[in-house]
Amino acid sequence: MAVSADDWTDDPQAVDSFITRAKAVLDDNWTGRFTVPSPSLYPHQWSWDAGFVVLAYARYAQERAEQELAHLFAGQWKNGMIPQIVFNPDAPDTYFPGPDYWDAGRSPHAPDGVRTTGIIQPPVHATAVWHYQHFARDKERAVRFVERVYPLLAAWHHFLRRDRCSRRGLIHILHPWESGQDNSPIWDTVRKRTDVPEAFVKTAEAHRGDYIHKKTRPTRKDYSFYLYLVELFRAVDYDPKRMREVSPFVIQDVLFNTLYCRSLLDLGHLAHLIGEDPLPWWDEAHVTQVRMNEKLWNEHHGMYFDHDLTTNRRIKAEVAAGFTPLYAGIPRAAQAARMVRSLDSPKFYQVDERSWGVPSYDRESRKFSKSRYWRGPVWININWILCHGLRHYGYYDYAEHVRHAILKLPYENGFWEYFDPETGEGLGSDHFSWTAALALELILQPEYAQQVTEG
């Protein structure tokens, strides 16, 4: 079945009002220096959320895109690390764990005068900067900005290569929060085999009230695991080598490595733009592609699986992120065809069926939950990554089917953090920035084309 581009609405005025509403979400969440992911739950700046909002600002708010990135880079560590969260000193003390719990300043690498966490999130920043300069109206200014941030992006990628990878392998992550998919079923086996001291269960319990919508969030056990890992890292002053040694969680994650690979390709393009050598970045991207195909691909399931470095075993959790390598051109054409067959099935998102986008987890698994965070609900960022990946391989009809979901979900139900794949009901926090931003990214493409024609 071919789904036409405007199936989600055939009313042009409705499209205009949708754009206005999406931009209003970003305006409301804009603090004057950066964009909070949502006003109710997340009052600070998150690393990959910042990258996603820049993809939208790139298309209509050049200066704001620069400010967003500059604020994130102000929190960059001296060893190049871009932290998961840059804390906002003016925010109410509602988010736990906050800056005092992390106490990241104990690391000699922490930035001066800015408080952050001591872990990372997926690297989408070079990709964001590439979009920024590509769509910028003031091109000269954009090139000057790229010249300014290129060394910072390079330092970030050097950090990943130096401190998050052994020899020329894949990048490993050390905490579920680093993947961006906090309570994904991928982490279940690691969490279950880790003895978390009772004190962390108590701390997690004490803060349960901080987490709204308990049934749609990670459990107390998940949170105690997250806090325990933070404690292990804090005890070694966030020293990258020691973190690797003490962590029971050392995973080569598909989504993280996919975005790393895409980021390297985009960093190469940025290098080329300002007269630097792109080849080392593209070489690195190539090595990552080869390694992912060697180590993470599973022909039987038609998708990629994470690898647990502690046990040296694949983690066979069928999550939507297992299809994201399409976005970085990682699978060969035959693999991509196999992946689309797995995606276009009752497990995920069948083309001729009434559901609401690609769920984060296999709908036929007994552990699937249609409402609990990264264990089933539809997330707009994963769908957006898949939509672009499918286009890249020429699966335009299926990509349109995914695009349709990305637009229709917030159009009909609001700009929620995640969505029930069966009913489309919005879950988590309302007024969520990347839901608005990525819908805008898809919808503003024709508008951009028009501006270019108008000259």
Binding site for ligand 9WN (CB under 6 A): 37, 42, 46, 48-49, 84, 177, 180, 182
3-state secondary structure the chain: CCCCCCCCCCCHHHHHHHHHHHHHHHHHHECCCCECCECCCECCEEHHHHHHHHHHHHHHCHHHHHHHHHHHHHCCCCCCCCCCEECCCCCCCCCCCCHHHHCHHHCCCCCCCCCECCCCCCCCHHHHHHHHHHHCCCHHHHHHHHHHHHHHHHHHHHHHHHHCCCCCCCCCECCHHHHCCCCCHHHHHHHHHCCCCHHHHHHHHHCHHHCCCHHHCCCHHHHHHHHHHHHHHHHCCCCHHHHHHHCCCCEECHHHHHHHHHHHHHHHHHHHHCCCCCHHHHHHHHHHHHHHHHHCEECCCCEECEEECCCCEEECCCEHHHHHHHHHCCCCHHHHHHHHHHHCCCCCCCCCCCCCCCECECCCCCCCCCCCHHHCCECHHHHHHHHHHHHHCCCHHHHHHHHHHHHHHHHHHCCCCEECCCCCCEECCCCCHHHHHHHHHHHHHHHHHHHHHHC
Report, in Å, the least distance between residue 149 CB and ligand 9WN: 21
Q: Taking the complex as a whole, how short is the minimal distance between the CB of residue 95 and ligand 9WN, in angstroms?
A: 7
C-beta of 37 vs 268, nearer to ligand 9WN: 37
Residue 251 CB, nearest approach to ligand 9WN (Å): 16
Q: How far apart are the first and last CA of the chain?
A: 37
CB of 41 to ligand 9WN, least distance (A): 7
* Residues taking part in catalysis: 182, 417
Q: Which two tokens stand for residue 43?
A: 């009052």
- Which residue's CB is nearer to ligand 9WN, number 161 or number 207? 207
Of 170 and 382, which has the nearer Cβ to ligand 9WN?
A: 382
Report the nearest approach of ligand 9WN to the CB of residue 45 (Å). 9
Query: In terms of Cα–Cα distance, which of 419, 411, 416, 424 is closest to 378?
Result: 419
Residue partners of 103: CB distance under 8 A and separation at least 6: 234
CB nearer ligand 9WN, residue 142 or residue 409: 409
CB of 151 to ligand 9WN, least distance (A): 25
Residue type, 236: V
Q: How far is the CB of 216 from ligand 9WN (least distance, A)?
A: 11
Nearer to ligand 9WN, 96 or 282 (CB): 96
Which residue's C-beta sits nearest to ligand 9WN? 37
The minimum distance between CB 409 and ligand 9WN, in angstroms, equals 17
Among residues 88 and 342, whose Cβ is nearest to ligand 9WN?
88
The answer to whether residues 304 and 322 touch, using CB atoms and an 8 Å cutoff, is yes
Q: In terms of CB distance, is 184 or 289 closer to ligand 9WN?
A: 184
Q: Which is nearer to ligand 9WN, 324 or 342 (CB)?
A: 324
**CA atoms of 34 and 46, how far apart (whole Å):** 10
